[in-house]
Amino acid sequence: MVITKATFDPVSGQLKKTNNMTEFDKIDRVLKIILNCEKPPRITDVEIDEEIKKQKIIISTKERIEIIDKLIKDGFIIKEIIDELNRFYINYYFSSFEGRLFLLKGGYSSQYLRQKWKHRKDIFMISINVINIILIIILTFYIYRATDKANDNKIESLKLNSKIDILTKSNDSLIKLTK
């Protein structure tokens, strides 16, 4: 079932149907038309156009040609040109098993969604790595400052300890003198 909606055309003053199908949906539907052709196991351009109209898929002739070229290039359908009675050539299209498997996996729509999620996941992982690097730099700076302060405190502590030792010794010597 094709989902369509109507939009108002201000020039003609009429409602026009628009197609909500994505390019990926269109190419999947054309591949399905060619794959469903069983007897004979081939289909012509005219038969593809008839099936497109029958299923109420809005695809221009130019789009259909581009879609079929893409499917041939990707190896999902096979094109054979047959000379009929030495007068004219007819393009016949056959499905390949690769095309059948590809459509069973969800076709181009599914492939697009997988790539989209993979891209988002990659961006998320890069963001997490950048945040981790920034946190490591900040923590390293704080550790350096804490170590530096601890060394300063250690020096201060040693000075205080030496003063305490001096005071203790002088106090002890004073106690010995008073005895």
Question: How does pLDDT run along the chain (179 residues), one tens digit per residue?
Answer: 444 454 555 566 555 555 577 888 999 999 999 988 877 788 888 888 888 889 888 888 899 889 999 999 999 998 888 776 667 788 889 888 999 899 999 999 999 999 999 999 999 999 988 888 898 888 888 887 777 777 777 777 777 677 777 767 766 666 666 66
Render the burial of 34-58: b for 16+ CB within 10 Å, e for the rest.
Answer: bbebeeeebbeeeebeebbeeeebe
pTM, two decimal places: 0.60
Kindly tell me the burial class for residue 95, based on how many C-beta atoms sit within 10 Å of its own C-beta (0-12, 13-18, 19 or more). buried
Strands 77-84 vs 88-95: parallel, antiparallel or unpaired = antiparallel
Phi, psi values for residue 70, rounded to 5°: -65, -45
- Provide the pLDDT for residue 32: 92
Q: Where are the beta strands (DSSP E) in the chain?
A: 4-9, 14-19, 43-44, 77-84, 88-95
Q: Which helix (H) or strand (E) holds 74?
A: none
The answer to whether the beta carbons of residues 52 and 62 sit under 8 Å apart is no
What count of other Cβ atoms lies within 10 Å of the Cβ of residue 70? Answer: 16
Q: For residue 59, what are the CA distances in angstroms to 1, 20, 103, 168, 170?
A: 15, 12, 19, 100, 104
First-last CA distance in the chain:
112
What count of other Cβ atoms lies within 10 Å of the Cβ of residue 150? Answer: 11
* Token pair listed for 72: 């041939």
Domains and CATH numbers, the chain: 4-105 (1.10.10.10)
